[in-house]
């Protein structure tokens, strides 16, 4: 029999919806303001007239940015770093999480290995040993210096091994009975049905690689090898309009330091905004429900 929710419950739900909508708008407001600023003229931006909607709509800031070879080069470097970083990190994380997800009877020293990796979460060597290690391994001023040091994130491995431990044991047992090896079982059975956990880790890793700027500032010796996050950090702190070609000079009446920074921030955020919707659908768990039938 259907019972109509009480007035108190409906009022509580309404307050929750109102609060969450208000919180969402509060989080979106700064991004919308930056977007509006990037499409506004320098006069409107300098006068503080831009709020949540562009004033005197113009694409001059984007036109100016897309003519900046250093920005485009940094953008490509960040894409290269993210693709290499995510691919390598996921491969190593899966290889680490699978054996650690086994029971002690199947992997005798599983607990010792697990605590060995957990120790790295609790204690770190610090910035100087990290820098010296990269320098001594010859990774300075190289894309691999940005990718290899953080290739294995133990926190992500813990998330994945716990997901593996929650999968039905019958899946592996049936595969072993059919003659499958551990390698085949991992890549052809466990990985395909672990997409909710893998998608979450891919998103975490991609965002971390794309937004990381401090390591690029330390490892890269020349600004022309900066990833995008490092490049944006340097121009936001110390803008440089000294090198402007005659072709770009015609935009200077319509753009300013604020509008160009806003345009670069928007362009730099696009990959994250484009990737997230495709991974969001995998966040829903329960994909393995019904995978084992009695």
Same domain, 194 and 150: yes
Same domain, 119 and 249: no
Residue 239 has what DSSP assignment?
-
Is 2 inside a domain boundary? no
How would residue 18 be classed by pLDDT, with cut points 50, 70 and 90? very high
- At 206, which helix (H) or strand (E)? helix 195-211
Nearest to 146 by CA among 104, 186, 86, 102: 86
Query: What φ, ψ does residue 25 adopt, rounded to 5°?
Result: -65, -35
How would residue 71 be classed by pLDDT, with cut points 50, 70 and 90? confident
Same domain, 81 and 208: yes
b/e per residue, 68-97, with b = 16+ CB within 10 A? Answer: beebebbbebbeebbebbbebbbeebbebb
Is 27 inside a domain boundary? no
Same domain, 62 and 83: no
Residue 205 sits in a domain of what CATH number? Answer: 1.10.3720.10
C-alpha distances (whole Å) from 271 to each of 85, 221, 226 are 15, 26, 17
Is 294 inside a domain boundary? yes
What is the number of domains present in the chain?
A: 2
Return d(Cα 30, Cα 55) in angstroms, integer. Answer: 16
Is 19 inside a domain boundary? no
Is 14 inside a domain boundary? no
Which pLDDT does position 293 carry in this prediction? 42
Return d(Cα 116, Cα 120) in angstroms, integer. Answer: 7
Which pLDDT does position 23 carry in this prediction? 93
Return d(Cα 279, Cα 275) in angstroms, integer. Answer: 7
Asked if the model's pLDDT at residue 138 lies above 60, the reply is: yes
Is 283 inside a domain boundary? yes
Which pLDDT does position 70 carry in this prediction? 87
Same domain, 59 and 168: no
Which pLDDT does position 167 carry in this prediction? 86
Same domain, 152 and 262: no
The DSSP result for 267-280, as a single string, is HHHHHHHHHHHHHH
**Least confident span in 42-56, 75-89, 245-259:** 245-259
Same domain, 90 and 178: yes
Return d(Cα 12, Cα 18) in angstroms, integer. Answer: 10
Which pLDDT does position 238 carry in this prediction? 57
Mean pLDDT of 13-33: 91
Write out the residue range of the structural domain in which residue 270 sits.
33-67+245-294
Mean pLDDT of 101-128: 87
Which pLDDT does position 275 carry in this prediction? 80
Which pLDDT does position 131 carry in this prediction? 92
């Amino acid at each position: 029999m259907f019972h109509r929710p009480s007035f108190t419950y409906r009022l509580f739900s309404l307050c929750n919806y109102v609060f969450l909508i208000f919180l969402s708008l509060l989080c979106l407001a700064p991004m919308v303001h930056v977007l509006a600023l990037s499409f506004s003229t320098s006069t409107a931006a300098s006068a503080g007239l831009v709020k949540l909607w562009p004033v005197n709509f113009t694409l001059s800031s984007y036109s100016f940015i897309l003519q900046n070879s250093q920005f485009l080069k940094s953008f490509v470097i960040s894409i290269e770093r993210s693709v290499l970083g995510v691919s390598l990190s996921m491969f190593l994380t899966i290889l680490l999480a699978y054996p650690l997800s086994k029971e002690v009877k199947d992997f005798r020293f599983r607990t010792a290995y697990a605590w060995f990796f957990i120790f790295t979460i609790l204690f770190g060597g610090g910035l100087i040993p990290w820098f010296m290690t990269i320098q001594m391994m010859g990774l300075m001023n190289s894309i691999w210096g940005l990718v290899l040091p953080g290739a294995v994130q133990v926190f992500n491995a813990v998330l994945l091994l716990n997901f593996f431990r929650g999968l039905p044991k019958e899946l592996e047992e049936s595969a072993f009975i059919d003659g499958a090896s551990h390698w085949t079982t991992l890549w052809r059975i466990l990985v395909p049905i672990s997409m909710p956990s893998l998608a979450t880790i891919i998103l975490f890793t991609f965002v971390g690689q794309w937004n990381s700027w401090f390591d690029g500032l330390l490892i890269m010796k020349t600004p022309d090898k900066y990833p995008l996050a490092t490049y944006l950090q340097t121009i936001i702190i110390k803008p440089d309009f000294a090198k402007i070609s005659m072709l770009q000079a015609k935009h200077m009446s319509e753009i300013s330091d604020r509008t160009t920074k806003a345009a670069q921030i928007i362009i730099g955020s696009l990959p994250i905004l484009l990737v997230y919707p495709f991974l969001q659908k995998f966040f829903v768990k329960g994909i393995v429900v019904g995978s084992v039938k009695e």
